[in-house]
């Protein structure tokens, strides 16, 4: 290299000696590139990559920087050389900080804060590529995770504040936006808003944005269901678990009456519904669910075109003709669900019968994606993979330079996800079949994550969950620890696959600090068999010391003496029943007030992981001459027998019958005498009933 001043006069004395570079042999096309007016690099233009060698990059020691640079060179023998024309060193282009806006399901909560897609890893490669080529997170590179269930109007207001925060950091006037999927609609609403927009966006790059909506949204909005596919089934399962946590009866109720406004704002605004048996689609918006958000946004699309923002639109086509573009419907038999018709065959095995598919990126149709046709680029890609497949071109749009490094192996997921969610009050740790752990480290109180690609939401809020991509076959252990004051908790486990998803719940009781262990066996070949089984399967032990299985005279006080134990997890609930009424342990049953015959004491108990135990004892309440005499005295004390001489007469008759050889004749006569006493009102109905029952028992036994 030879340096020149602003008069183009060379000044080789100011350049360091020994600047020969040992570069790639036989490199035919190469260039010298300046990242700044003083820092230079040698690039291999055949491979479009920076040369890595001892003297392939450096910084000019001249100050101020030279105005021109020329290149000279020769072969080793010195018999062939070249001398280049000096070219001007130009100030590098000013690079704005960039903010990445994710789409639906592109943000997840961690310890109460939203973070950008740690589950599907949709943006990992794009972010890593920008970092590898000079962007710095928190300085020139930012993400904008958000609650994707809310209205995009509210989120656009949050975007305004995010841009303000970034401008304070960079001390700049404008930012660039890279918006994926629904994130593009948020960016549009911000820029097209008269009240929000601060003229502080330089570039807006769309990645697979559904400018006219997506037919998939109809399934979620009208029926609370999503089509097959790992991402769509994950959306459905995530919303279902949120609905359960918030107390909604089902997903449809949650979507319509909860905070999931975004699904309505993704409904298509073109003709996509066809009645079964018809060759023509309905004309939007007649007999369609209406999307006023997109209608208004697209009616004002000219505002975006004349905003001064440089627009680029990347759209994807998978090449598989697998994007839902028409939904063929029949009349709903389950209103208010499917108000505008449910997809033909959607509840049958042929779930795709009413979902007609065509070109697109598996989510967005070409008509919707290309509505904004400024600087349009189409890639063979999918809705999720476009963030990786377009990353080199996105970098060039942002900077005007070619990316030296492209990262393509950090993002993306497999086709299966194990999703474990807690409904407090417990924290959890999961141990995979290979021994790797994720969740709360109960020994240190910190978080741990040894499973690649897995995500733990943290334990600082009640919204605690773990996602594990491509789960292994085998047993996953879920260890839980009771928090707060304990109480009932639920562990929900979902297995999300490409074709379908399945889920199961387990509820139990916990105490503060109590450790329990649950097992979930994953069989990727047959995921519908997934179950949650506690390690502790032994029910509580119940011992009924009293009553015994024997006869008790009516005059008895029968003690209730029960012991219940569970050495593994402890007792959650227990009950003691005497016939149909509950009684307390260490109390007594006064048989005077009970009917003669069989009585049962039943004890039930459940331990803290839901194992149930039941034990019972049946005894017989009988009457004897002695117990009947005792009953007469008790009836007199209670005022049921009015006169003492009547009491004494009944007792005398009982004692005579007891001694008589013909006591049955005597006993039969007692009933008649009791009736006379009742008619004379010397005993009441209660005394008559009780003593008559006693005497009949003596007669028959």
In this predicted structure, which of 452-456, 512-516, 653-657 has the lowest mean pLDDT? 653-657
Specify the pLDDT at position 92: 59
**Whether residue 425 has a cis bond before it, omega within 30° of 0:** yes
Give the DSSP per-residue string, 492-552: EEEEE-SS-EEEEEEEEEE-TT-EEEEEEEE-TTSGGG--EEES--PPPEEEEEES-SSEE
Q: Could you tell me the two tokens for 217?
A: 């949204």
Q: Which of 592, 595, 604, 588 is nearest to 547 (CA)?
A: 588
Q: For 193, what's the count of Cα atoms within 13 Å in the CB-facing half-sphere?
A: 21
In this predicted structure, which of 228-237, 404-413, 551-560 has the lowest mean pLDDT? 404-413
Residue with structure tokens 């994707």? 148
Distance CA 675, CA 588 (A): 32
Residue 578 is given by DSSP the state E
Residue with structure tokens 């035919």? 28
Distance CA 624, CA 636 (A): 18
Distance CA 390, CA 576 (A): 68
Helix (H, G, I), strand (E, B) or coil at 633: helix
Residue with structure tokens 């990347």? 314
Q: Where are the extended beta strands (E) located within 19-165? A: 30-34, 39-44, 49-50, 57-59, 68-70, 72-74, 81-83, 87-88, 98-101, 107-110, 113-116, 141-143
Q: Which of 515, 525, 463, 533 is nearest to 495 (CA)?
A: 525
Q: What residues have CB less than 8 Å from 112, skipping those under 6 apart? A: 460, 461, 463
Residue with structure tokens 């020969």? 20
Distance CA 620, CA 591 (A): 10
Distance CA 211, CA 191 (A): 14
Give CA 690 to chain center in angstroms. Answer: 64
The sign of the dihedral angle between the CA atoms of 123, 126, 132, 134 is negative
According to DSSP, the residues that pair with 437 across neighbouring strands are 431
Specify the pLDDT at position 15: 45
Q: Could you tell me the two tokens for 160?
A: 């305004």
Q: Which of 373, 367, 316 is nearest to 180 (CA)?
A: 316
660, pLDDT greater than 90: no
In this predicted structure, which of 160-164, 430-434, 514-518 has the lowest mean pLDDT? 514-518
Residue 307 is given by DSSP the state S
Number of neighbours of residue 512 by Cβ within 10 angstroms:
12
Query: What's the pLDDT tens digit per position in 281-304?
Result: 999 999 999 999 999 999 999 999
Give CA 135 to chain center in angstroms. Answer: 32
Give the DSSP per-residue string, 381-406: --TTTHHHHTHHHHHHHHHSS--S--
Query: What's the pLDDT tens digit per position in 609-631?
Result: 989 999 999 999 999 999 999 99
**Whether residue 401 has a cis bond before it, omega within 30° of 0:** no
Confidence band of 13 (pLDDT split at 50, 70, 90): very low
Specify the pLDDT at position 90: 65
Confidence band of 352 (pLDDT split at 50, 70, 90): low
What is the mean pLDDT of the segment spanning 537-550?
96
* CB distance 216 to 226 below 8 Å: yes
Specify the pLDDT at position 410: 79
b/e 28-49 (16+ beta carbons within 10 angstroms → b): eebeebbeeebebbbbbeeeee
Pick the CATH number of 541-590+600-622 from 2.60.40.10, 1.10.1060.10, 3.40.50.1820, 3.40.50.300: 2.60.40.10
Report the Cα–Cα distance between both ends of the chain, in Å, rounded: 124
Q: Could you tell me the two tokens for 569?
A: 């997890």
Confidence band of 4 (pLDDT split at 50, 70, 90): confident
Q: Could you tell me the two tokens for 564?
A: 């219940």
Specify the pLDDT at position 347: 63
pTM: 0.77
Q: Where are the domains of the chain?
A: 2-88, 414-533, 541-590+600-622, 625-700
Q: What residues have CB less than 8 Å from 387, skipping those under 6 apart? A: 122, 123, 125, 126, 180, 207, 411
Q: Which of 665, 698, 655 is nearest to 554 (CA)?
A: 698
Query: What's the pLDDT tens digit per position in 359-400?
Result: 999 999 999 999 999 999 999 999 999 999 999 999 999 999
What is the mean pLDDT of the segment spanning 126-154?
97
Confidence band of 73 (pLDDT split at 50, 70, 90): confident
Specify the pLDDT at position 62: 53
Distance CA 339, CA 320 (A): 31
Confidence band of 519 (pLDDT split at 50, 70, 90): very high
Q: Which of 97, 96, 113, 114 is nearest to 105 (CA)?
A: 114
Specify the pLDDT at position 348: 61
Helix (H, G, I), strand (E, B) or coil at 9: coil
Distance CA 102, CA 180 (A): 5
Query: What's the pLDDT tens digit per position in 439-478?
Result: 999 999 999 999 999 999 999 998 899 999 999 999 999 9
| Residue 213 vs residues 265, 321, 323, 630, 699: alpha-carbon distances, Å | 8, 18, 13, 87, 88
Specify the pLDDT at position 16: 45
What is the mean pLDDT of the segment spanning 628-640?
96
Pick the CATH number of 414-533 from 3.30.70, 2.40.128, 2.60.60, 2.60.40: 2.60.60
Specify the pLDDT at position 34: 72
Residue 137 is given by DSSP the state B
Distance CA 688, CA 680 (A): 12
Packing angle, helices 391-399 and 124-132, rounded to 10: 40
Q: Which of 184, 174, 182 is nearest to 205 (CA)?
A: 184
User: Residue 202 is inside which H or E element, if any?
Assistant: strand 201-207
666, pLDDT greater than 80: no
Mean pLDDT of the chain: 91
What is the mean pLDDT of the segment spanning 555-568?
96
């Amino acid at each position: 290299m030879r340096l020149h001043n602003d008069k183009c006069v060379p000044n080789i004395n100011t350049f360091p000696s020994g600047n020969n570079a040992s570069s790639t042999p036989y490199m035919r096309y190469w260039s010298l590139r300046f990242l700044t007016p003083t820092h230079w690099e040698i690039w291999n233009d055949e491979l479009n990559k920076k040369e890595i060698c001892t003297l392939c990059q450096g910084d000019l020691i001249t100050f101020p920087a030279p105005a021109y640079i020329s290149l000279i060179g020769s072969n080793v023998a010195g018999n062939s050389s070249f001398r280049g024309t000096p070219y001007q060193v130009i100030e590098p282009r000013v690079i704005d900080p960039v903010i990445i806006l994710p789409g639906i399901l592109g943000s997840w909560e961690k310890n109460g804060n939203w973070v950008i897609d740690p589950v599907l890893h949709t943006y990992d490669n794009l972010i890593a590529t920008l970092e590898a080529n000079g962007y710095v997170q928190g300085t020139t590179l930012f993400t904008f995770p958000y609650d994707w269930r809310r209205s995009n109007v509210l989120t656009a207001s949050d975007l305004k504040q995010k841009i303000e925060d970034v401008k304070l950091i960079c001390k700049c006037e404008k930012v660039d936006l890279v918006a994926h999927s629904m994130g593009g609609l948020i960016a549009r609403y911000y820029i097209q808003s008269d009240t929000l927009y601060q003229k502080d966006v330089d570039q807006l790059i769309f990645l697979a944005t559904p400018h006219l909506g997506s037919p998939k949204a109809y399934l979620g909005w009208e029926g609370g269901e999503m089509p097959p596919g790992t991402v769509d089934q994950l959306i459905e399962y995530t919303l279902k678990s949120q609905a359960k946590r918030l107390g909604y009866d089902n997903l449809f109720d949650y979507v319509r009456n909860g905070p999931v406004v975004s699904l309505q704002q993704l409904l298509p605004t073109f003709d996509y519904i066809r009645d079964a048996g018809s060759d023509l689609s309905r004309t939007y918006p007649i007999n369609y669910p209406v999307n006023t958000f997109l209608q208004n946004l697209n009616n004002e699309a000219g505002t975006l075109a004349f905003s001064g923002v440089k627009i680029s639109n990347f759209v994807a086509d998978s090449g598989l003709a697998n994007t839902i573009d028409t939904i063929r419907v029949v009349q709903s038999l389950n209103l208010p669900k499917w108000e505008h018709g449910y997809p033909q065959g959607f509840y049958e095995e042929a779930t795709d019968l009413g979902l007609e598919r065509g070109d697109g990126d598996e989510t967005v149709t070409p008509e919707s994606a290309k509505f904004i046709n400024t600087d349009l680029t189409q890639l063979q890609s999918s809705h999720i993979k476009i963030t990786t497949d377009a990353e080199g071109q996105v970098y060039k749009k942002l900077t005007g330079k070619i990316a030296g490094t492209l990262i393509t192996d950090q993002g993306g997921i497999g086709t299966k996800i194990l999703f474990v969610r807690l409904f407090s009050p417990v924290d959890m740790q999961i141990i995979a079949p290979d021994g790797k752990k994720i969740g709360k480290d109960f020994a240190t109180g910190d978080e741990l994550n040894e499973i690649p690609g897995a995500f733990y939401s943290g334990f600082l809020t009640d919204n605690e969950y773990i996602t594990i991509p491509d789960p292994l076959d085998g047993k996953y252990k879920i260890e839980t620890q009771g928090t707060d004051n304990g109480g009932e908790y639920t562990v929900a486990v979902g297995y999300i696959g490409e074709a379908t998803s399945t889920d199961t719940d387990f509820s139990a009781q916990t105490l503060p600090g109590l450790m329990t262990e649950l097992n979930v066996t994953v069989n990727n070949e047959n995921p519908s068999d997934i179950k949650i089984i506690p390690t502790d399967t032994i029910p509580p032990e119940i011992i009924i010391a009293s009553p015994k299985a024997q006869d008790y005279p009516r005059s008895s006080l029968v003690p209730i003496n029960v012991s219940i134990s569970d050495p593994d997890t402890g007792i959650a609930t227990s009950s003691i029943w005497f016939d149909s009424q509950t009684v307390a342990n260490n109390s007594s049953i006064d048989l005077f007030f009970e009917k003669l015959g069989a009585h049962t004491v039943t004890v039930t108990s459940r331990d803290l992981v839901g194992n149930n135990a039941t034990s019972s004892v049946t005894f017989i309440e009988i009457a004897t001459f002695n117990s009947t005499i005792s009953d007469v005295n008790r009836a007199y004390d209670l005022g049921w027998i009015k006169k003492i001489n009547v009491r004494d007469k009944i007792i005398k008759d009982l004692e005579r019958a007891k001694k008589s050889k013909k006591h049955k004749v005597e006993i039969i006569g007692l009933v008649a005498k009791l009736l006379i006493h009742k008619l004379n009102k010397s005993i009441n109905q209660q005394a008559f009933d009780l003593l008559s029952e006693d005497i009949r028992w003596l007669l028959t036994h």
